[in-house]
Structure 1
Amino acid sequence: MPPFKSLIQVDKTLPTPVFLQLSEQLGQLIRAGTLVAGQRLPGTRQLADLLELNRQTVVAAYDEGLAQGWLESRAGSGTYVAAHFPDIKPQLLASNDSTASVLGTDSTGTQPGYAFDSLNFLVRPVLTNSAGLHLDDGFPDIRLAPMDELSRAYRSYFRWGNPQTHFGYGDTKGHLLLREQLSLHLNETRGLRTTPENILITRGSIMGLHLTSQVLLRSGDIVVTGETTWAGATMNFRKTGATILTVPVDQHGLDVDALARLCEQKNTIRMVFVTPHHHYPTTVTLRPDRRIRLLQLAEQYRFAILEDDYDYDFHYLSRPILPLASADREGMVVYVGSLTKSVAPAFRIGYVVAPTALIDELARLRRIIDRQGDPMLEFAIGQLLKTGDLKRHFRKALRTYHVRRDRFCELLTSELAPIVQFTKPDGGMAVWARFDPAIDMDALATRAGQKGLFLSSGVFHNPPGQQLHGTRLGFASSTEEELERSVMVLRNVLGSSFGFPGFIRPW
């Protein structure tokens, strides 16, 4: 008989009933091969005496094992380990590790016992809001978010309406109130011509890009992007097996003449990905004549345009240029946007705007990934659009970010020229900064972090075989005083670590 008194340890102080603890530990012994198929277990009275338990506790544990299929009862003979289990070779404890897992050979729990493909192109640094000084990728200032208004909208969700409707399953496309209000907002501010049926609400724009890629792309399809582009998009394209080709990006945005030549050579282009309002990462705006030409090429060669308009709401020169989707007459543009950058990253609200046939298909695919979004958050954001609170927030944030952009650009010019070169962006929440080629960008980011300033090295913006020596320096999420301190830290790091002694200034 196995040494049950040593093998089984129950803890009566735990919230889990003792009979369930006993039943589970018997199951673990069976899975580990300590108890083998067909082995007879002690009688309930005998095991109760061994473990100093009430006999009824053991009876309940055996009943649970019978119900789970681990055990079987034989009339007049007793309780046995079920005969249908295969022979399992008991695992030996490693000589220097008394905690080896019964789940596999790796006692640390890091590696499974089966093989799978790990895709290197999915490895990408996770950008987070830093609690200290930061020149981030271009995040909003969460301190400006309309939290009180959102809180009131959330409470109204609980107070009003039918609970069965509010807390049951909802529309896969998103809460109707948000789609209605967002349709009105997009038509008013972006010149679109939508109805709620043209909109799918997603958890951020990245879900919209993923769903669109999965529906429109197949292995071997050609997707064209700029030489510099957003890695989050290209990762999705590559996951489908698509081939990615690139064209140059200059001070006027995507080179559509180069795209036209590519179309002549490869007349099977399936999709072109663009961020025309503020190109990522360089922030340049696609010139109007290039926009027209891009739409003409899409109609001629029948490729889809995936337009990511990630920060349309923040443009500082009068009225921003309207999206490509506003001039689309042939249904060639899939328009993806987000309220995440406009409010706060934690509020995962994105959207896809497209002809209804595509929206319906995207919704069907979304259903097997994520049955629906967050109805409470979607309702709350819809309420803020309906009451005008969100539009007031946009106007307030726009004024604030405009002032911060101007002050930040002044600081870059007065404190970091000529080591740092940039063009003042017309909009968005970050500056694309190019550093002196003598500067190691990885080392710069590391040493700035040691001084309390987070910034990205920008190396993941580099096209294959090129060194841009550039990165995005976000200004929107920092106050003017925080921006001044950040630039002084950066200046001192450049002076002390990279041979620019004239840049060192005492605090």
Structure 2
Amino acid sequence: MTIFLNVRLTIFRHFDFIWSVPIFDLCNEVTDKFSDMLPYKNLIVIDKKSNVAVYKQLALQFINLIQEGKLLPGAELPSTRTLANDLQLHRKTIMAAYNALVTEDWIDNLPRKGYAVSLRLPVVRPRSYNTNRLGAYKGISSFGFEKLETVIYPSVSLAHSRIVVNDGFPDISILPAEAIIKEYRNVLEYTTLNRIGTEWHAEGSPDFRKSLCTFLNQTRGMDIGMDNLLTSRGAQMAIYLAASLIIQPGDKVVVSDPSYLLASMLFERLGAELIRVPVDEEGMCTVPLEEILKNNDVRLLYVIPHHHHPTTVTLSVQRRNHLLQLIKAYDLAVIEDDYDYDFRYQYDPYLPLASGDHGGNIIYIGSLTKVLGTPFRLGYMIATQEFVQSAAKLRALIDLRGEVLMEQTVTGLIDSGELARHIKKANKLYAQRCDFLSDLINDELSDVVDFTKPTGGMALWLKFKPTFPLSKIVKKAGTMGLAFTGSVYNEDVNGRFNACRFGFASLQEEEMKEAIHILRKSADSLVK
């Protein structure tokens, strides 16, 4: 056996060796934890019909695992009893293989610890004897697939950014952390955990849906039951599910201009032809919408009436009434995206369209992500019972269980009143930040941007004047430590838009001051 293994080792000694102890030390932490979890039953194949003794086959295959990097220096090996049981071999056979490997310095027999791959192993060159197990993924796939190259948001490196302006996300530093931890602990108690782990509901946690229905009925003037509500991992999933059930290739879908980019991309992905309706200071223009409906077979309308994305404007009462009339007259399917309804800084009498008389044609989409923060992927869909059941079946194809633990946690926050208290606190803080930023921009950037202070939400829609191309300003600001990760609508060939969303809810006042100072300097650099 010694001669047999020496032949293998002699081959390797024709090549240069390099020692890399720091790398070994780094790898050992991971390897020690997971090497004993390797599926040896699948990695080691013994041919009992071979002329080579079984213990020699076993020893050679361990050498291969070491050479291929699956077993790194310091990795603990399974005990002889465990490996014998896994491979259905006699324990003496395993001991013979280990002893041979010890003799050739491939492994060490450590007192009171068992066997481990030797730390004295060299890293062998050429690479053909040290195959990287991930090497197969470093090239290009040989099969064909659709390459999605559309840029959703500008790619911005945050490595040198001191301030990040997002699309309008909440400040997670004000979350009621202790209350969340308390509710999460309650969920992890055996009785609750066992129940939610055993049950399965395609529409989402019954406890969560029941509590959420009560919350929505009280805050949005709705009259819904659990059968009308489906939970999802954020509003984006809910939009996807609803649109997938409605749109067929070639269907016409009406969206605003501009509109929420990800929704428009989704509709086009499903094969829809988009018809765009302009937006002004009163929201989506319903008169041209009516003309479109008269002259086209429209399958779906996507509307964001409360705080339109990206412009933040609110649909006026007159247009809301007109839109509801059109929905009923043309029996129109509607997705109402109400992503941040809970944040209103002035008296706002507007209820969702879904709370009006629409004959069940409106699918209402909302999100608690905008309340709790981006780490909490909790969205929901409200529709007729029949539609919800179909959406639940579709969701099961990509997401069987949903955020069960977090749904139960938020159920406790709703039932205890903690969620309502948090929304009230956040509203007060965000209103102050909205006022502060608006005043700051009026003082420092009035010659650069135009904007209308919104009545709610978490972002301003800044329209840069034609002499200040947004693409150049964002690029220049990036060199000074200010990054934009939200919706940036650069000027097109017609000079339209040249605008961006400036999320303020998650920024401190000092951060807003610095951000505006950098924008001022960036703008000034363009006119020098």
TM range, normalised to the smaller chain?
Answer: 0.7 to 0.9
Q: 1:132 offset after TM fit, Å?
A: 3.6
Deviation, structure 1 residue 164: 2.5
Aligned-partner residue type, residue 165 of structure 1: R
Name the counterpart of 1:443: 472
Write the letter of the residue equivalent to 2:348.
R
For 1:277-310, what per-residue CA distance to the aligned partner results, in whole angstroms no more than 9, with x for missing partners?
A: 0111111111111111112212222221100001
Q: Does 1:499 align with 2:499?
A: no
CA contact (8 A) 2:469 2:490 kept: no
1:305 corresponds to 2:334: yes
Q: Take 2:203 and 2:57, find their aligned partners in 1: how far apart are those partners?
A: 57
Flag the 1:483–1:64 CA change in 2: closer, same or farther, 3 A.
same
For residues 466-501 of structure 1, what are the alpha-carbon distances to aligned partners after superposition, in whole Å with 9 as ceiling and x for unaligned? 531110111111122221222122222322x2126x
Conserved? CA contact 2:210–2:226, under 8 Å = yes
Q: Aligned residue for 1:24? A: 43
Q: How does 1:175-190 map to 2 (within 5 A)?
A: 175-190=205-220
Q: What corresponds to 1:215 in structure 2?
A: 245
| 1:247-292 CA-partner distances (Å, limit 9, x unpaired) | 11111111111111111111x2111101100111111111111111
Q: Which residue of structure 2 lines up, in the alignment, with residue 34 of structure 1?
A: none
The question of whether the paired residues in 2 share the 8 Å contact of 1:458 and 1:472 is answered with yes
The answer to whether 1:43 aligns with 2:62 is no
Conserved? CA contact 1:228–1:463, under 8 Å: no
Quick one: distance in 1 between partners of 2:321 and 2:156?
A: 34
How far is 1:41 from its partner?
A: 6.7
Question: Residues 122 and 235 of structure 1 are in contact (CA less than 8 Å); yes or no, is this contact kept in structure 2?
Answer: no
Relative to 1, partners in 2 of residues 1:41 and 1:205: Cα closer, same or farther, differing over 3 Å?
farther
| Counterpart-to-counterpart distance in 2, 1:110 and 1:228 | 39
Equivalent of residue 203 in structure 1, options 210, 230, 233: 233
* Distance in 2, Cα, partners of 1:140 & 1:262: 37
Q: What is the 5 A alignment of 1:137-216?
A: 137-159=167-189, 161-216=191-246
After superposition, the Cα gap between the structure-2 partners of 1:393 and 1:126, relative to the gap in structure 1 and judged at 3 Å, is farther
AA aligned opposite 2:168: G
Alignment of 1:346-365 (within 5 A): 346-365=375-394
Matched AA of 2:52: P
Following TM superposition, by how much is the alpha carbon of 1:455 offset from its aligned partner in structure 2, in angstroms?
Answer: 2.2
Tell me the equivalent position of 1:398: 427
- The residue that corresponds to 2:449 in the other structure is 420
Moved more, 40-49 or 450-459: 40-49
Cα displacement string for residues 180-220 of structure 1 (whole angstroms, at most 9, x for unaligned residues): 11111111111111111111111100010011111111111
Count of residue pairs brought into register by the alignment: 456
Q: Deviations over 1:413-451 (max 9, x none)?
A: 001111111111111111101113233323322322222
CA distance in 2, matches of 1:128, 1:189: 39
- 1:92 equivalent in structure 2: none
How does 1:57-456 map onto structure 2 within 5 Å? 109-121=138-150, 123-125=152-154, 132-159=162-189, 161-266=191-296, 268-456=297-485
Q: Classify 1:23/1:65 alpha carbon distance in 2 versus 1 (closer, same or farther; 3 Å).
A: farther
Residue identity in the other structure for 1:363: A
| CA deviation after TM superposition for structure 1 residue 315, in Å | 1.3
> Structure 1 178/411 Cα, relative in aligned 2: closer, same or farther at 3 Å?
same
Q: Structure 1 residues 210 and 126, CA, compared in 2 at 3 Å: closer, same or farther? A: farther
* SS of equivalent residue, structure 2 residue 191: coil
Consecutive unaligned residues of structure 2, counting only runs of 5 or more, are 13-26, 64-76, 90-125
Residues 273, 205 of structure 1: alpha-carbon distance in 2 compared, 3 angstrom cutoff:
same
* Aligned-partner Cα distance in 1 for 2:86–2:169: 57
Cα distance in 2 between the residues matched to 1:102 and 1:162: 42
Given that 1:178 and 1:381 are in contact with CA atoms closer than 8 Å, whether structure 2 keeps it comes out as yes
Verify the 8 A CA contact 1:23 1:64 in the aligned structure 2: no
Q: Secondary structure at the match of 2:371?
A: coil
Give 1:123 shift: 4.8
> RMSD across aligned C-alpha pairs, in angstroms?
3.7
Tell me the distance in 1 between the aligned counterparts of 2:157 and 2:303. 24
Residue identity (%): 32
- One of 498, 502, 523 as aligned partner of 1:473: 502
Residues 276 and 63 (structure 1 numbering): CA distance in 2 closer, same or farther, change over 3 Å? Answer: closer
Distance 2:62 2:171 in 1: 61
- Kept in 1: contact 2:167–2:487 (CA 8 A): no
**Deviation by residue 1:139-169 (Cα, 9 ceiling, x = unmatched):** 1111111211111111111237344313234
Q: Is the 8 A contact 1:442 1:457 kept in 2?
A: no
Q: Is the 8 A contact 2:41 2:87 kept in 1?
A: no
Give runs of ≥4 in structure 1 deviating > 4 Å. 1-7, 11-15, 17-23, 48-54, 60-66, 95-103, 122-131, 456-466
Distance 2:229 2:491 in 1: 34
Q: 2:327 touches 2:358 (CA, 8 Å); kept in 1?
A: no
Q: TM-score, normalised on structure 2?
A: 0.77
Contact 2:461 2:502 in 1 (8 A): yes
Q: 1:489 to 1:240 in 2, by over 3 A?
A: same
1:466–1:356: structure 2 CA closer, same or farther, 3 Å change rule?
farther
Q: Check whether the contact 1:23–1:65 (CA below 8 A) recurs between aligned residues.
A: no
1:485 to 514, 523, 526: 514
1:112 deviation in Å?
1.6
Secondary structure of the equivalent of 1:161?
Answer: helix
Q: 1:52 to 1:483 in 2, by over 3 A?
A: closer
CA deviations 1:53-72 (Å, max 9, x no partner) are 99x98xx7999599xxxxxx
Q: Is this contact kept in 1: 2:433–2:504, CA < 8 A?
A: yes
Q: 1:253 to 1:46 in 2, by over 3 A?
A: closer
